[in-house]
Amino acid sequence: MQQLEYKGTVIKECFFDRKNIKKFEAIFTQGNGYLGIRNALEEHYVGEIRDTFITGTFNKASKEEVTELPNIADASTVKIIVDEEEFSLTEGKICFYERSLDLTTGESVRSIKWESPKGIKLDLIFRRFVSLDNEHIFVQKVELLCDKDANIIIESGIDGSVTNSGAMHFEDIQRRVYEGRYMEYIAKTTQSNVKIIQGAVCSLNKEASAIPVMGRRTLANRYSIKIKANEKLEFEKKSIFFSERDKEFAHLKDENRLDEIKRESAKLIRELETQSYNELFKRSEAKWQDYFEKSKIDIGTDDIYVKTSINFALYHLRIMVKTDDNRVGIGAKALSGEGYKGHSFWDTELFILPYFTYTHPEIARTLLEYRYHNLYGARLKAKENGYEGAMYPWECAWVDDGEVTPLYMGADIVTGEITKVWTGLIEHHITADIVYAIDNYYRVTNDNDYMEKYGYEIIFEAALFWASRLEYIADKDRYEIRNVIGPDEYKEHVDNNAYTNYMAAYTMRLATKKFEYLKNNNKTLFDALDSKLDLKYIKECIEKRLPKLYLPLPNEDGIIPQSDTFLGLKKLDIIKYKNSDEVLGIYNDYNTNQLNEYMVSKQSDTVMLLYLFRDLFDYETRKKNFVFYEDKTLHDSSLSKSTHAILANEFDFEEMSYKLFRGAISVDLGANMKSSDEGIHSASIGGIWAVFVFGFGGTNIDDKGLNINPCLPVNWDFLEFPLVYQGTRLRVRVEKGNQVSVRRLDGKSAEIYIKGEKQLIK
């Protein structure tokens, strides 16, 4: 029997199975971009990962470890004891169980009928949501009905005895229950010295006084209530969360900040006490409605799994982003788990950002401003590595942390040693990926203000990095880029990775164009940037090297070599791994060094290049290379399938495209109960949106402007999606047969290309 059911706007856990709790914790995560709470159950179970994160609060647990997003004190636990028997689904009998998450309101509801080992029957409903109306609030409600008169104990509070898989990030500062019921807990991160201030207040629909309970790093209120048979007991808990890194307190002096936050949180908790779960929920729900109004995608298909997938993506895309704070990025697992330590990768710019660029450009801008603040760390990294300009960290945390990729991770299957992680050292393409994202953002939004304040500077600094990164190879009289990892992380220390070389060339070319543009059109800005960055020097460096940069061309068989060595590597029969549901299963048989010797790719690499630059090669060459590389790609990275699905669709491999698309939507939402244990895959979720809008919807931008050239799956009747193009909000509808109609919702008339024909959308 299937444990996860798909209902379009709702996902449902149909029964309880302790083995799979991590999957549901992660995909049912609730949040608002500031706060993220995994949906660990109110009662504890072995194997759970009970994580709560506040964005941007990074800390290093020890000198040997890299900074990570710390798991803050838990507020979700609610202990229920009925006549001395503690409620737990691993005891007694479960007569009914279901939990659902409404993807359009953010509320999860769990309904249970349970019989205790001694035969007491309980009906329980647990509701909870993280507010989209006030980002500091998490609200829970428990409704309980017992089949006989009973004494109920409910205990809930704030539990600071949590870790990140054993790594303790906090020192206890203060715990108290004041005025008989308000709980307050303050802790400080051990290295970054960020104080986290949490509060909670509980209420019941029956008279009961709170007894404070304190343990090591924990505090709670305990209520003891007598209820009659079939009398409904209602318990509500409102929890609040603040951190010293919160944007609204950033302007305060360090010595005043904590007091101000304490005042603010004390005020908020009193206000919340007078408001019901339902009132607070309605306010949050209204914000969700506004969001979906602007984002929703309608699909004419009976396939409920596919319909659910886009709502699932839109839900997670919203809860992963702090929409108004340009000091924080999006983690590879967002705020849904400890995987990748809350760090941001190229995942944001190439997989997640397009959704925001085309649907919520103001949020895209915030994310790109984050990269401007990252310039500090990027300059630092360039200098440390002997380069010039800005070399973006492969993994980013707090704006000025610099490179935070761990140096070692996981066991080597052959040697038994811990494996060295090379990505932070030699995966360099991110410095061009960010530039690509800025260029696209600008084409879509025409946001000159962003470019003038931030964009040009990043482009020039990135271009200078690439110019300094090129190596002159005297016997070939050309420049090369040696010793890198391209997007395909199964190939380490390669020379001339086609993706990296072309992206570097693109960045330098773009900088040259922008140089000319500013010189001729905005002398004031040109002069300002020139005196800050020395633009003439940057241009000189580019002009000297770029013309001689080696850009791999298709060989005599029409194949673009992924790197100097790729096409000469040993062949490997990868069917076994391709057909298996196990991600990274190849590591059971080969270690990283061995994988370097085989013609097998972890993820989209050269195909990624074909996807980003449609005009680089002719149609036939692109198609041929797609077929060649798809055959060798294991899609062991969650980023991969969406890109291949989009290209397979473009090349009319309908069946393959749909299969890859279903693979892409299944990364987190699918039946694999282990894939999301460490958190959802944010890039893959951005990729789901991309397959709908860029793939089947055929949207892309080029030098002409916005193009819509759709190709719907044969079994779909229509597809409708929103786009914001240069300030104009549009709604695109594609009918069966790929007929396109576009409505202008607001903004000025827009000129776009539909199937190659210029159209004015009035």
| Binding range to ligand IFM, per CB under 6 A, among 26-34, 172-180, 339-347, 745-753 | 339-347
Write down the residue that tokens 């209204």 correspond to. 286
**Under rule CB under 6 A, how many of the chain's residues touch ligand IFM?**
10
- Closest contact distance (angstroms) between CB of 592 and ligand IFM is 13
Measured CA to CA, the distance from residue 313 to residue 155 in angstroms comes to 35
Q: Toward ligand IFM, which CB reaches closer, 435 or 639?
A: 639
Question: With binding defined as CB under 6 A, does residue 639 bind ligand IFM?
Answer: yes
| Binding range to ligand IFM, per CB under 6 A, among 24-32, 146-154, 343-351, 724-732 | 343-351
- Closest contact distance (angstroms) between CB of 614 and ligand IFM is 21
Q: Toward ligand IFM, which CB reaches closer, 182 or 346?
A: 346
Question: With binding defined as CB under 6 A, does residue 422 bind ligand IFM?
Answer: no
Site for ligand IFM in 664-703 (CB under 6 A): 683
Long-range contacts of 120-125 (CB under 8 A, 24+ apart): 120/82, 120/83, 120/85, 120/146, 120/147, 120/148, 120/150, 121/95, 121/146, 121/147, 121/148, 122/82, 122/87, 122/146, 122/147, 124/80, 124/87
| Binding range to ligand IFM, per CB under 6 A, among 70-78, 342-350, 378-386, 456-464 | 342-350
Contacts with 402 (C-beta within 8 Å, 6 or more apart), sequence order: 376, 377, 380, 381, 384, 393
Q: Could you give phi then psi for residue 742, rounded to 5 degrees?
A: -130, 130
- Residue 5 CB: number of other CB atoms within 10 A? 16
Question: What is the three-class DSSP state of 684?
Answer: helix
Measured CA to CA, the distance from residue 421 to residue 406 in angstroms comes to 7
- Is 751 considered catalytic here? no
Question: With binding defined as CB under 6 A, does residue 340 bind ligand IFM?
Answer: yes
- Closest contact distance (angstroms) between CB of 681 and ligand IFM is 7
Q: Positive or negative CA dihedral for 607, 611, 617, 619?
A: positive
Residue from 218, 284, 637, 642 binding ligand IFM (CB under 6 A): 637
Compose the 481-500 pattern: x for residues touching ligand IFM by CB under 6 A, - for all others. ------x-x-----------
- Closest contact distance (angstroms) between CB of 324 and ligand IFM is 25
Q: Toward ligand IFM, which CB reaches closer, 138 or 422?
A: 422
- Closest contact distance (angstroms) between CB of 706 and ligand IFM is 28
Residue from 312, 346, 387, 725 binding ligand IFM (CB under 6 A): 346
Q: Toward ligand IFM, which CB reaches closer, 633 or 637?
A: 637
Residue from 332, 435, 463, 660 binding ligand IFM (CB under 6 A): 332
H or E segment to which residue 270 belongs? helix 254-273
Cα–Cα distance list, 578 to 64, 136, 156, 592 (Å):
36, 44, 47, 18
Q: Toward ligand IFM, which CB reaches closer, 530 or 636?
A: 636
- Closest contact distance (angstroms) between CB of 67 and ligand IFM is 16
Measured CA to CA, the distance from residue 480 to residue 448 in angstroms comes to 34
Nearest one of 694, 609, 703, 704 to 649, comparing CA atoms: 694
- Residue 229 CB: number of other CB atoms within 10 A? 11
Write down the residue that tokens 């077929």 correspond to. 627
Token code pair at residue 597: 């010797």
User: Of 427, 489, 630, 678, which is the active-site residue?
Assistant: 489
| Binding range to ligand IFM, per CB under 6 A, among 134-142, 244-252, 340-348, 690-698 | 340-348
Question: With binding defined as CB under 6 A, does residue 244 bind ligand IFM?
Answer: no
Measured CA to CA, the distance from residue 123 to residue 640 in angstroms comes to 44
Question: With binding defined as CB under 6 A, does residue 392 bind ligand IFM?
Answer: no
Angle at 593 between CA 592 and CA 594, to 5 degrees: 90
Footprint of ligand IFM (CB under 6 A): 332, 340, 345-347, 487, 489, 637, 639, 683
Active site residues: 489
